[in-house]
Structure 1
Amino acid sequence: MIKTDAERLVKERLGNEGSGHDWLHIDRVRKLSIQLAEGTEADEFIVELAALLHDLPDRKLADDRRMSRLEVETMLTSLSVGDDERTQIMHIIDTISFKGTGRTIPETIEGKIVQDADRLDAIGAIGIARTFIYAGSKGTPVYEPDGSDSAIQHFYDKLLKLKGLMNTDAGRKKAEERHRFMEVYLETFFKEWDR
């Protein structure tokens, strides 16, 4: 019941979100998190709830979609999530973001799993699509040959680094294929750009 209520609340809030951090992203991260948790000691309830709520306080969301950290914590309380579980979920939300070097690693297996799942959704074919959706939502150009801010520059600033930042063996395995796809995409992009 708690997970169903959380899903409904997140779906209502992020259903039409236009930066690529929408409900469909959340649902993919949740499904990937559950997959990555299989065969581990991870608490699936913590994993799934953290995956469902992970983007609600994200600075990349529009102000009318984003929630404060306190609002997310209050939501968990209203869903009757216990104190220990709430603390664990909030810690995951606080530590999974890439911010800066991307080298912040959650302390728990649950956090590592959700971080890997979120990063996997940022790479590969879906990651490429999300990159361009986000760039478009912010008025960022597709590419600037001088190396200034662009969707293509984001690949070098973040996306191509994610394969090496995976926490779990399952995450690393999934990241390999998605990373190769991005490399092929960029090679093709620059061939077409230079013609």
Structure 2
Amino acid sequence: MGGTVKKIIGSIIKDNPILMMGLGLCPSLAVSTTVNNALGMSAATFMVLLGSNIVISALRKQIPDDIHIPAYIVIIATFVTLVDMLMQAYLPQLSKSLGIFIPLIVVNCIILGRAESFASKNSVSRSIMDALVMGLGFAIGLTAIALVREVLGAGRITLGGSGSTIKIPGLSSAPALVFVFPPGALIVLGFLQALFRRLGEDRPEKNSEVKK
């Protein structure tokens, strides 16, 4: 059990779609201005990823090879439409804040990439696990970027659909506004990518023999 958890954690770090593979950066940098936006985008992406992985894996032997990409896009678009409608109905403020980036999940290379490289070649159970790991990795990466940007750029942390905020002493009165804008997003992304690459490095075993 411990080995499985360690393997999953290792996969989340080494195969992190944002901070290690550099996938889905356009929507990630655009919506990561607040933690609330990041959590909402992460949840929406995860639901689409999970649903599309299950359906594509279940139908992998029925979908002809010559039309598999259009078929995958139709399946993904169906789940995106459902998620978008649910968010508009139950989380209208968050839906308005995320705007066009919810429908753009259809062309998110993370979801289409997992459909092509994993779900279409593996069982439903393995595809569910893949969606869980990749979805959690995406959420960690996106939330980390948003947390740093909001704390440094606005001096606060926005939580929940009600818009409640936690003010950071010392930063709320004099925030570094550059982190609210695209250049700040790229700076934060670069530092977090460096950190994750450092954490994901394979550390060589120490040689117990004393060299003469």
Report the TM range for the smaller structure's normalisation. under 0.3
In terms of fraction of residues, the more helix-rich structure is 2
Say which structure, 1 or 2, has more relative contact order (CA 8 Å, 6+ apart).
Answer: 2
TM-score (norm 2): 0.24
TM-score (norm 1): 0.25
